[in-house]
A and B are shown apart, each in its own frame.
Chain A
Amino acid sequence: MRTLLRTPILALSVMLAFTACSTAQQPASTATPFGTLSAVTTDLGDGLYTVSAGGYRTVFLVGDNGVLVGDPISTPIAKQFLSEIRKVTSKPLLYVVYSHNHWDHVLGGQVFKDEGAEIWSHEACLPHFYRNSHPDLVLPDRSYEQKQVLDVGNAKAELLYHGPNHSDCSTHLYFPAQKIVHIVDTVQPYAVSGAGGRMNDSYPKQFVASLQKLEDEVPFERMVPGHGGPIAPRDAVTNRREYQQGLLDAVKAEIDKGTPFGEIPGAVSLPQFKDLLGYDQYLAANAQRILIYYTIGW
């Protein structure tokens, strides 16, 4: 039986990579490399907002009947998010939507649950939550399989599942009125995968198919990420998909060429993506993950 760590985690894993390089995305007053420590809310129009704190970002949608909110992140950050929501509306919290299963995004849901919210996730998150429980993790009340529309009163969010990518239970949270999709960790705009890219529980090949499906089926124009700046153009998704496919192709080419196994990660080069955040630092680590995929089928 494992003993759980209670240490508060500020900003982890995926974005840990970008401590040196993502400040360019942020306003000059930014307190951390990935965002502000204190909460900052951005109005995206028609009742949709994005709020960032402690290096993490979520969204909330205000309708006639109440509010839908994304990841709580952690108990202290959820409290900050709640006070930001309360600056905009006093309506009840109706829904929380977990983006995926990783603790660094989904802890602290009790803060929203206490306001009456019902918690949703994709159904494939449930086995992860059962196996790796955490005292600050509130299990979802409801789950869905392919698509779920949640209506907060003249404002809708679509919970869309496009298959495994960064995890096997990622929800793409789409707001049709705004044509904005909230994508957490699968796409960090114009960045490679961070430290987690080496061995994250990602699905290297389905990753491409998942983003392709999103691009094919959803007429989004912009995206809100789970870290960093508030909004990025649709092209950020295409760019990330093409980087992933480039990695797959480059590693496969080295294998076919007979490059010694241990030398493959260092041999991969994708000059067309050299301007992505973290390219120099993490390209080899990203290639390592792809190499494992080609070797054991995982």
Chain B
Amino acid sequence: MTRRILVALGVFFLASHASAQSLDLFTKTTTEVAPGVYSYGAFSARSLFVVTSDGVITTDPVSAKNAADMRAAIAEVTDQPVKYVVYSHQHWDHVLGGQIFKDEGATFISHEKCIPHFARHPNDELVMPDQTVTGDHDLTLGDKTLKLMYFGHNHGDCMLVMQVDGTDVLYINDLVTPYSVGLGFMPDYDPGEWLRTLLELEARDDWTQFIGGHGIPVAPKDAMVQRRRYMEALMAAVRDGIESGQRLEELYDTIELAEEFREMRGYKTHIRRGAERIYHYYTMGW
């Protein structure tokens, strides 16, 4: 069932992103974004892998099929074994299918707050983490260090942002899908904390581009700024609506942001639901 769901989710994304830009959802590519640092995947899902002098660190396996494809892509650039798999966060559309890496002896790592989610929502295709981190952690293998950074509750509560030390590229998974409004209504989002996370990331001057969990191989920092400004605009519009006495249904029907945001992928499909999520954030405190 999982594969069908992932394909379905991809189609949903496609349907949701009816913009002028054409998208290839499923053709997976490998892009070297810094020496030994690769962005692998397609619009449907994207992962980071890092080739060191003593083996490979990869991130989300996504699904058994994707993991097999990614394993082949890794083999095209190195003969080294995969030593670590680091989960970006707990959502099934990123973390399933890691068994192929387990079989070659990889150690699986996630933030510790992913564990209760995995325990509560068991899935046969999920390889449970062998190790957890509680906050920022340097994962050193051979000549490279992958910095795991925790910014709190944003897109769920166990998201790790990653950066190979010495490079100017962040792996931020679902925190930003470049030039897209994203699925703004997911239940475990904390909009305020998410905004804070983006602002903290933007304030750092040690990176200039990022890899998201979906979308193009690598995007400039501007794409994060755009998404953060979209979130601010959406939250301000909902606040204004509430303060002027609008009820949820009215907001839902009338919400509209400035032209620059209407050009983002997924705007038409997701703006109303995004507004509903923000409405609940402001009125129910979650």
Binding site for B on A (CB under 8 A): 1-3, 5, 7, 9, 12-13, 16, 101-104, 128, 131-132, 134, 137, 164, 167, 195-196, 198-203, 205-206, 255-256, 258, 260-262, 289, 292, 294-298
Interface of B is mostly: helix
From B60-68, B86-94, B134-142, the one touching the partner chain is: B86-94
Is the CB–CB distance between B283 and A255 below 8 Å?
Answer: no
B35 CB–A CB distance under 8 Å: no
Is the CB–CB distance between B120 and A261 below 8 Å?
Answer: no
Is the CB–CB distance between A132 and B187 below 8 Å?
Answer: no
In-complex Cβ contact of B283 among A3, A104, A295, A298 (8 A): A104
- 18 A/B residue pairs, CB under 8 Å, sorted by A: A5-B243, A5-B283, A12-B284, A13-B284, A16-B247, A16-B249, A102-B285, A103-B283, A132-B285, A195-B249, A199-B185, A261-B9, A261-B12, A294-B5, A295-B92, A296-B91, A297-B90, A297-B91
Give the 4 A-B residue pairs with the shortest CB-CB distance, closest first.
A261-B8, A103-B285, A297-B92, A296-B91
A103: chain B residues within 8 A (beta carbon):
283-285
Is the CB–CB distance between A255 and B117 below 8 Å?
Answer: no
A201: chain B residues within 8 A (beta carbon):
187-188, 286
- Complex: how many Å from CA A104 to CA B285? 8
B1: chain A residues within 8 A (beta carbon):
255-256
Is the CB–CB distance between B8 and A260 below 8 Å?
Answer: yes
Among the interface residues A102, A256, A298, which one has the most CB atoms of the partner chain B within 10 A? A298
A16: chain B residues within 8 A (beta carbon):
247-249
- Complex: how many Å from CA A102 to CA B9? 30
Seed contacts A102-B286, A261-B8, A298-B121; 18 additional CB < 8 Å A-B pairs: A1-B192, A3-B239, A5-B239, A5-B243, A13-B284, A132-B192, A199-B273, A200-B187, A255-B5, A256-B1, A258-B4, A262-B11, A294-B5, A295-B9, A297-B91, A298-B117, A298-B156, A298-B188
- Complex: how many Å from CA A173 to CA B121? 27
B276 CB–A CB distance under 8 Å: yes
Which residue from chain A places its CB closest to the CB of B187 in the assembled complex?
A201
B262: chain A residues within 8 A (beta carbon):
none
- Complex: how many Å from CA A60 to CA B93? 45
In-complex Cβ contact of A134 among B91, B188, B249, B285 (8 A): B285
- Complex: how many Å from CA A2 to CA B282? 9
In-complex Cβ contact of B280 among A13, A164, A292, A294 (8 A): A13
Which residue from chain B places its CB closest to the CB of A258 in the assembled complex?
B4
Q: How far is the CB of B132 from chain A (nearest CB, A)?
A: 18
Instruction: Please judge, given known A-B contacts A132-B285, A195-B248, whether A200 and B280 are in contact too, CB under 8 Å.
Output: yes
Is the CB–CB distance between B5 and A7 below 8 Å?
Answer: no
Instruction: Please judge, given known A-B contacts A255-B5, A295-B9, whether A198 and B276 are in contact too, CB under 8 Å.
Output: yes
Is the CB–CB distance between B196 and A1 below 8 Å?
Answer: yes
Is the CB–CB distance between A298 and B91 below 8 Å?
Answer: yes
Is the CB–CB distance between B286 and A262 below 8 Å?
Answer: no
* B178-201 contact mask (Cβ, 8 Å, vs A): 1 or 0: 000000011110101100100000
- Complex: how many Å from CA A3 to CA B248? 19
A196: chain B residues within 8 A (beta carbon):
280
B131: chain A residues within 8 A (beta carbon):
none
Q: How far is the CB of B212 from chain A (nearest CB, A)?
A: 16
Which residue from chain A places its CB closest to the CB of B274 in the assembled complex?
A199
B91: chain A residues within 8 A (beta carbon):
296-298
